[in-house]
A and B are shown apart, each in its own frame.
Chain A
Amino acid sequence: MTIQSDELVKIAYLAKLQIDADNTARLTRDLDQILNFVDQMKSVDTTQVEPLSNPLEMTQRLRKDEVTEINQRDAFQNIAPATEAGLYLVPKVIE
């Protein structure tokens, strides 16, 4: 499998990563190598193996439905760049 540079740009966009044009060739090559490695793994016959969603042979511990958190808004908002009326302010998002 080889990755095209426009796919690289798309992945970077989705991950909100900024990529220098000079770097594109090198990153494409690196990703290709990773994908080749994945291809190599995919060649193993896994039809008899159950899909693994977690490497630990454990299941989820569940917690009781209880409110255990207290209001720490002041502490959290102390380290936020901008707040007003109890809200976190972010650059305008327009739908």
Chain B
Amino acid sequence: MEWEVVIGLEIHVQLATKSKIFSGSSTAFGAEPNTQASAVDLAMPGMLPVMNQEAVRMAVKFGLAIEAEVAERSVFDRKNYFYPDLPKGYQISQLEFPIVKTGHVDIHLDDGTKKTIGVTRAHLEEDAGKSLHEDFHGMTGIDLNRAGTPLLEIVSEPDIRSAKEAVAYLKKIHSIVTYLGISDGDMSQGSMRCDCNVSLRPKGQEEFGTRTEIKNVNSFRFVEKAINTEIERQMDILENGGSIEQETRLYDADKDETRSMRSKEFANDYRYFPDPDLLPIEIDQAYIEEVRKTLPELPEAKIARFCNEYGLSDVDAGILAATREQADYFEAVAAKSGDAKMAANWVMGELAKYLNQNNLDIAQSPINADALGGLILRIKDNTVSGKIAKDVFDAMWNEGGEADAIIKAKDLIQVTDTSTIEAIVDEVLANNAAQVEQYRAAEEAKRGKMIGFFVGQTMKASKGKANPQQVNEILNKKLNG
């Protein structure tokens, strides 16, 4: 039978506030355990939550960025469950009246098509602490530094149809929140975590199949793998006439499998009710308009502009606009070099390769945009060939400095003087008389390939400095003339 995959994602984004959502504790990552856990975060008797205005502003910003309606009135609820890293016995969240209502984001797929994914809602809530299950004399260790960190939970519609689409959607949300500056989006530090709801239904069937939820997947790669693994598992069961049990599952990256979290009895009965410690949040139009004015150019708009203004393809524009830093870097290189196509190729090619190899962000690149733009200028004015430019790039990366200084110091200036190149070509032809004879005896159709040998020899003899185009022309003239 042919199956259709139905996926919805719940993404938890840690908001980049300085202090917690309901207390004045720091949210800085990596502090000593429990040094950023105040009486409020510890749920000491009599403590009351006081809402952080910046968390509200960030949620509103996100709502505007996905063209959602921002709720004029939103309400906090208590989600009740017992776990030691949740000292109050409830998580403050929003159930019925979330701060952000229905919106949407566009994703770009590999085949160049665009798809709109609905966002059901986004609501504010607090994070829990961390449980450390290493053995402390048979006990569990609790660190409450993270307790009370503001989260924005973004819930998608079940509009996603494959693991690839899920990753594209997650990446889009990642780029929106980092563009907005409302989260650092660092998945390795848990700033973005994702629950994936996955189900299958026979193609053409209207109603959804039974879904499972894969909890807390924390990298783009794992989201794709976890979903594909879960699709296979469900398909196996359904193909063999079985049925899917609605449950929460965990993805084990080492074994590349999902497994059932021991289903706790009554686990999903959270008995939500409005939190009497917090009043409703009211947001007026004037405030919304004030926040709207602070929105930066967003990824979709930037991609469209890169296509129009620089003549880039959708795919290239999408890659360059993935982060604000990369987009800014690219634009600076394009401005300096006056050649957007070359700027795009160098940023996505050589620079991306070196950054990947050294595990660096573009912000940490030892070559800044101005320097890379300067190198491209020297290719454009024929000072160096594209090939030599890669050596210059390597030197700039490893030793620092500007392209001009390196080209001069290493004597890499391209040879464009015709008589000099002719002399080198003559020497090459004289040294390879046998090959010249073969070439002249060969059919026209085969000569194209054979000339490559002479080009290679000439470039080698000039230590790579001869202008390749001129070498080609002169060789053609001398061999065919």
Name A residues whose Cβ lies closer than 8 Å to a Cβ of B: 10, 13-14, 16, 53-54, 56, 58-69, 71-73, 76-77, 82, 84-95
B144 at the interface (CB under 8 A from A): yes
Across the interface, which residues of B come within 8 angstroms of A85, CB to CB?
33, 141
For B141, give its contact among A56, A62, A73, A87 (CB under 8 Å).
A87
Sorted nearest first, the 7 A-B pairs with minimum C-beta distance are: A68-B24, A87-B141, A65-B54, A62-B53, A86-B33, A69-B38, A59-B282
- Given the contacts A66-B19, A67-B18, A67-B26, A92 and B56 also touching, CB distance less than 8 Å: no
Chain A: minimal CB distance from B141 (Å): 3
> 4 other contacts beyond A13-B266, A60-B280, A89-B137, with CB at 8 A cut-off?
A10-B269, A60-B281, A61-B50, A86-B32
- Given the contacts A13-B266, A86-B33, A62 and B140 also touching, CB distance less than 8 Å: no
User: What are 23 of the A-B contact pairs (CB < 8 Å)?
Assistant: A10-B269, A14-B80, A53-B75, A54-B276, A54-B278, A59-B282, A62-B52, A63-B24, A65-B18, A65-B54, A66-B24, A67-B25, A67-B26, A69-B24, A73-B32, A76-B34, A85-B141, A87-B141, A88-B84, A89-B141, A90-B140, A91-B140, A95-B262
Per-residue A-contact encoding for B35-46, CB less than 8 Å = 1, 0 else? 111110010000
Chain A: minimal CB distance from B60 (Å): 12
Query: Which of A10, A58, A87 has the most CB atoms of chain B within a 10 A radius of its CB?
Result: A87
A18 to B280, CA, bound (A): 35
Q: Are B17 and A63 in contact (CB under 8 A)?
A: no
For B34, give its contact among A62, A65, A86, A95 (CB under 8 Å).
A86
Q: Are B278 and A60 in contact (CB under 8 A)?
A: yes
Q: Are A73 and B143 in contact (CB under 8 A)?
A: no
A88 to B278, CA, bound (A): 28
Q: Are B34 and A92 in contact (CB under 8 A)?
A: no
B382 at the interface (CB under 8 A from A): no
For B136, give its contact among A10, A56, A66, A87 (CB under 8 Å).
A87
Residue of A nearest to B24 (CB): A68
Q: Are A89 and B139 in contact (CB under 8 A)?
A: yes
A69 to B80, CA, bound (A): 26
Across the interface, which residues of B come within 8 angstroms of A72, CB to CB?
38-39
Q: Total interface residues on B, using CB and 8 Å?
A: 54
Residue of A nearest to B283 (CB): A59
Chain A: minimal CB distance from B210 (Å): 23
For A93, give its contact among B39, B52, B131, B274 (CB under 8 Å).
B131
Across the interface, which residues of B come within 8 angstroms of A94, CB to CB?
133
Across the interface, which residues of B come within 8 angstroms of A13, CB to CB?
265-266
B51 at the interface (CB under 8 A from A): yes
Across the interface, which residues of B come within 8 angstroms of A92, CB to CB?
133, 138-140
A77 to B22, CA, bound (A): 21
For A69, give its contact among B25, B34, B139 (CB under 8 Å).
B25
Residue of B nearest to A51 (CB): B96
Q: Are B19 and A73 in contact (CB under 8 A)?
A: no
Residue of A nearest to B131 (CB): A93
Q: Are A14 and B269 in contact (CB under 8 A)?
A: yes
Chain B: minimal CB distance from A54 (Å): 5
Q: Are B53 and A63 in contact (CB under 8 A)?
A: yes
Chain A: minimal CB distance from B77 (Å): 9
- Given the contacts A65-B17, A89-B136, A60 and B142 also touching, CB distance less than 8 Å: no
